[in-house]
Every structure is written in structure tokens, then in C-alpha cells.
Structure 1
Amino acid sequence: MALGKDAAASMRIGVFLVAAGFPGMAPGDVLRGTTEAIEAAERAGFDDAWIAEHHFMSYGVCPSAVTLAAVALGRTSRITVGTAVSVLSAQHPVALAEQAAILHHVSDGRFRLGVGRGGPWLELEVFGTGTARFERGFPESLDLLCTALNGGPVAAEGEFFRFREVSMVPQARMTPVVACTSDGTVRLAAERGLPMLLGMHVGDDEKTETIAAYESYATGLAAIVGAAHIGAALGYVADTTEQAVREMRESLPRWLGPGLAGYVPVDGRPPPRRDIAEYVDLLCRIHPVGSAEHCVEKIMTTAARTGLRHLILMVEGAGDRARTLENIARLGAEVLPAVRALRPGAA
């Protein structure tokens, strides 16, 4: 497919680390491998690295994306590190803002905070925030977070938070990214002018529809229409597309089967169900999984169809530490230069 140069204008490409707990991998080794992958991503020329947060499950073994981001920032010097995402329903928004401000200052601005509503999972029970915070407390939490990240001062007289005015120490001016998987959250982000993080479970059509909805909600409001949204995708390169797809079909079910089963609802509702083989085929079909040339074409197609100029690639799909590092290196050497060569003014 022939695509114009404008499709990749000012494009950023990052890595997305779930800290995936494949069978037989000790969580400590996974976490060490995650920081090693971020160091490798910096060497390979990626713009940023984003860390997922999950609790009490093997799908992702990092329960504090902010903590692991701090480690990664201390081991790197150029790359931006973000959370994708910190679960806002399970923690106090002002406390999270304080942690983000620390990382912002000590990294010279290389930290970005991504937040999400999360789900009705066990952490709501364990941490005591409850299902009500999940079901209707996200707007209140997000507004407090944004006020705190805008330097404060911050006070609360809402349903879930009530406290006197306090000054933020240290102050930081940061714009959080919001994971959007529902129309209500898209509207919240649009009304506040916050960029969205769009998950790798949806393809170009769904991402395009979500961005269009965002822009419709932002019309006439004091919002940033065309904010710098981020799209997540599976990213895996091999000598041929057939080889890459075959390897993903072999490895991903070993992780996704037990991993997705770890999503245990807190309130007795049925757990989520997904046909794993069908899901893997979907991921391989809609994302850059294949030869270097195929990966470049997929990235450029997504940029052209959705208007996204920031993609983050989930690079851990092989479930092997050495293969993950090889995947990062090959994406950096064989895919990123080709994408960036299509940008106006690129060397």
C-alpha cells in the first residue's frame, strides 16, 4: 500500500510493557526483565516506554506502575517512561499526584502519568475503595488528580473525598493520559481536554470511531480537540509474516489463558470470557505482527486511517526474555527507521 508522507508526520513510537506473567516465569524475573526491556528500548531508539498495572493476577505482575517507572527512569537518560495505566479507582488521586510530581522533577520531565478507571476487580475489596468508587467515582477522582497535577492547591467536598485545602508539595504541572474503553470515559476525557489511551484490543476502525466521538464531545467546550492520543498495539517482528504469526499463535495463549482468568470480579458478577485463539488471531491481523516491511505498512496504515501520531507496541508476546530483547532491537533497527524516513524533514 502506498501511503503519503503526511501519514507519519511527527510520529512517536514507544513500547508497552505489561510485565506479562507467562507460565514458569517468576514474577521477580519478569519485573527485572521489564526494566531491562526499557533500557533496551532506549538503546533501540524508541521514544517512550509505558508500564501496565495489575493486581493479584499473572496477566501482569506489576502492581505499581509508578514504582517500576521510577526504577526505569533511574536506569535511563533519554527515554520517556509512563504508566499505562495506574488504576485510579484503587488509590487516592492526590497521593498518586504526589508520586507523579516526584518522578516528574527527578527525571527532568521524562515521566508521564496514564490513569484508568480499572474494573470491578479484587483490588477494590483489598484496598477498601469499594465498588462505588469504580462505578461512579471516577469523574471525582479524575478532577482531583487534574487539580493536583496543575500545581494545586486542592480541596474536596464530594461524595468520595472530603478534606480541607492543601498545597501540593512538590508542585508539578502535568497532563494525565486517560485510558478510554467506554463512551462515558471518552466524554470525560474530551470535556477536560485530556488525551486518550486506546487499547490494543481494538483495531483501526474502533480507534477512529472513538477519536471521532471525542471530538464531537469536545466541540464548543474548553477542551483540546485533537489532543495527542496514544494507541496501543501488539508489535512483533520476524523474518517473515508467517513466522511471526505462527510464533504469536504458539506463545500468546500460554499467557492469555491463565492471565485473563485472573480477572476476578469483586461483587459476584460473571467473570469476563474470551475465545483465546480467536483473540490472538485478531491481534495478529490488526497490528504490526510480521516481517519488518509488514510492520511498517501496518503502522503507516494505522496512522493514515486513525490520525494517531503516537503508537506504543506491546513487545513481550514471545514470552521469552531473550526474544523480547531481540524483538525490541529488531523493531528499532528495521522498523523505526523506515517509519521515520517517511516523515517530512526526517534525515
Structure 2
Amino acid sequence: MPDIAAFLLEKILLAVFLFIVVLAVVAYATLGERKIAGFFQDRHGPNRAGPWGLFQPIADGVKFFMKEEMIPDRASKVAFVIAPTFTFTAAGLLMAAIPFGDRILIGGREVLLQLADIHIGILYILAVGSLGVYGIIVGGWASNNKYSLMGGLRASSQMISYEIAMGLAIVALLIDHGTPSLRQIVLQQSGSLWHWSVFSNPLGFLIFYVAAFAEASRIPFDLPEAENELVAGYHTEYSSMKFGLFQFGEYTHMTLSSGIIATLYFGGWNIPWVAVPEQATFWWGLLTFAVFWAKTLFFMFVFMWVRWTIPRFRYDQLMYLGWKRLIPLGILNIFLTAGLLLLFQQIGWAR
């Protein structure tokens, strides 16, 4: 019984710690994106709230809380209110299966920096990652606004189109690693830099990354919002903290998607040519935690870089890319991965 209590306490404290870390990263990702946008547009970006604008996320949060709540008269009020929580909650659930680091020694006890080492972790993130679109669809329908509804319909068709491509990329990854466990996939990428999945499955990485952009509804895939076509898309009628939850859910999804990309294709918390020690230590666990976030922040930067570099696709271009390019490439990638794996096994080059 004491062991169960200690285990539950460990998981609760770890969940609180990881939630605070993700919350802080997401909050300052908004500031980082505005600074990057300023750099690309030859301006300073936010620099009034605190030194170098460091208190801007706090000011934005206070602003969202203080603004007046507006609910349209003809809206479906219950669905209108709960819709933003779907997006944020679905993005937050992704956090449960991601390995944020290796084992860390705290108080003589080994703690795995992963909330749940789910055996089917890769299928879990595929399933949970697509739930956020329900918040967009419900919010668009409940607003009783034609632009909001159009944004919700676009989001659903976009999710279906690119979820298939992402699933095909994951099938190739399963063939390569032979396990759906995220922790085992990370461990198989330890040792040499060339063990990273991006080198054994580069086409799969490209497909997965493009699909992740589409699922996060970021430019050039932000068709559900498309300000010049749909006013503000699915959140046209939203204001105050409900609007803030939609934005927070988008940035949380981008952050955790970046972490998943780092986990699946770039070794996760692994350091190239550094062996994983048999015994956990505090400093090793802290180092792996820092390495994971360094890789994640890099991919977050790429998300932001693309947003301020590439213009939005037309809707027909979006569907063409998903159905006529990524899905056929995903099927081809499965056959290539299986064929090359069989060839490498025959000549003794298997992982």
C-alpha cells in the first residue's frame, strides 16, 4: 500500500511539474512568435511590458481575464461555452505519453520523466491529437454564424485529409522500429546520430511534419481562420478568455507536436554518441530533460519561421497537397521502408 501511495504521489507531482513547464513554454511562445515576426518585418516587437517585453504574456493573460464576455443571442450557449475547452484539453492530453527525459534520481527514488509509458503510445498520440478539431467544429456550429460554421467545416475536412497522411507516416515508423511504445522508440535511437529515425525514414519525417502543420492549423494551413475570407473563422464570435483558450490550445498543440517530432524522428532526449547510463542520476535526468526541450524549441521556431515566410494556400491547393501528394507518398514510403528493412536484414545492416 505505501508503494502505491508513493507511486500516485510521484505521478501527481510529475504531472503538476510538467503542466507548469508546458504552460510557461506556451505562454512565452506567444512572445517569441511576436519577436520573430518583428524580426522578419524589421520592427522591434513587444517591448513595453517589462524589460525587453518579458512580462507581455502576463499582460495578455490579464487582458483576456478583464475583457467582457460576449455570447451571441442566437448561439447554443452551453456548446458555445464548452467548445474552447475541447481544443485546450485535447492538446493537454498529448502531454501524458510524451517522454520528456530519461530517468532522474530524486530522494533516492528513480523517477521516469514520462507520465505514462503507454505500450501503444504512438497510437495514443495519433488518436488524441485529432480530438482538438471537435472544439473547432462545435464552436463554429454553436456560434450560429455562417463564417464560424464555414471555418469549422474547413477544419474537419482538413483534419481528415492530413490525419490519413500522418497515419501512413506512423505505419512506416512502426515497421522501422517494431514497437508502438514511445519510450522504446527513443531508446532505439540512442548511441550514434545515424540511429535517429530522420535518417532511416526521411520521407516519413517530411510527411509527418507537413501533416503536423496542417493539424495545428498554422499558416500556410490556417484555412479554418482565413481572416481575409471568413472574418476570423470559427472564433469570429468569441472574445475574452474563451478566445484566449482557443489561442492557448493552438500554441499548446504546436508545442507538443514539436516535442512529438523530436521524439519520433530526432532521438527525443538522446544525445548523439553518449550512451544511456544503467544507473539513473539527478544530473543525467536533468540533462536529458534540457536536451528534449532544446530540440522541441527548435521545431517550434521552424513553425514560426514558416508562418511568417510562406503565404496561405488556397483551399483547392490544400486538398490537392493532402490527397494527391502526401497520401500517395505515404503509401510509397511504407513499401520503401519495408523493402529497405528487408534488404538491410539480409546484408546484416539492421538496426
Do Structure 1 and Structure 2 share a fold, with TM-score over 0.5? no
Larger helix fraction of residues: 2
Q: TM-score, normalised by structure 2?
A: 0.23
Larger Rg: 2
Q: TM-score, normalised by structure 1?
A: 0.24
